Amino acid sequence: MPEVEIEIGGRSFSVACQEGEEPYLRAAANLLDTEAAVILGQIGRMPSDRMLLMAGLMLADKTAALEDELKETQAKVAAQEKALRSAEERLADRARRIAELQEAGPRTELPDQVTDGLAELAARAEALADEMAKKPE
């Protein structure tokens, strides 16, 4: 089991880890060291256990904020996916309706209102033509 030397807050620590995990351990130590540097810059020298505790709490706070943000983002993505599925369903319904209309071919029959209106117009036109024919020139 390899041992890695890490530095946090100006102090060196020897930490054992699994084979191949060394880069992850160094990355985690760098995060902790960044927080420790902030603490030491504000407060000054302190015991290593207190420095590590405070740095860990700061990282935990950042992690909690990121988890909250992740949950909000996941909720937004879920809402967008739901809206997308709904839009896709409406689009598929319209595509089916268009296909049905195309299969049915053009409509040749006219609605009753139109044919009734045309019949009335024809009757009026014939009546006018009769009247015109009866008038002397």
| Residue 114 pLDDT exceeds 70 | yes
pLDDT at 137: 61
Question: Which domain does 73 fall in, by range?
Answer: 3-103
- Residue 39 inside a domain? The answer is yes
Within a domain: residue 85?
yes
Residue 112 lies in a domain: no
Mean pLDDT of 31-52: 92
Q: What is the mean pLDDT of residues 70-77?
A: 97
Is the residue at 23 inside a domain?
yes
Place of tokens 């019949």: 119
Quote the number of domains for the chain: 1
CB count within 10 Å of CB 51 equals 22
* Structural domain includes residue 123: no
114 within domain boundaries: no
Assess if residue 19 is contained within a domain: yes
Q: Which residues contact 117 (CB under 8 A, 6 or more apart)?
A: none
The answer as to whether 127 is a domain residue is: no
Percent pLDDT > 70 in the chain is 98
The answer to whether the CB of 8 falls within 8 A of the CB of 32 is yes
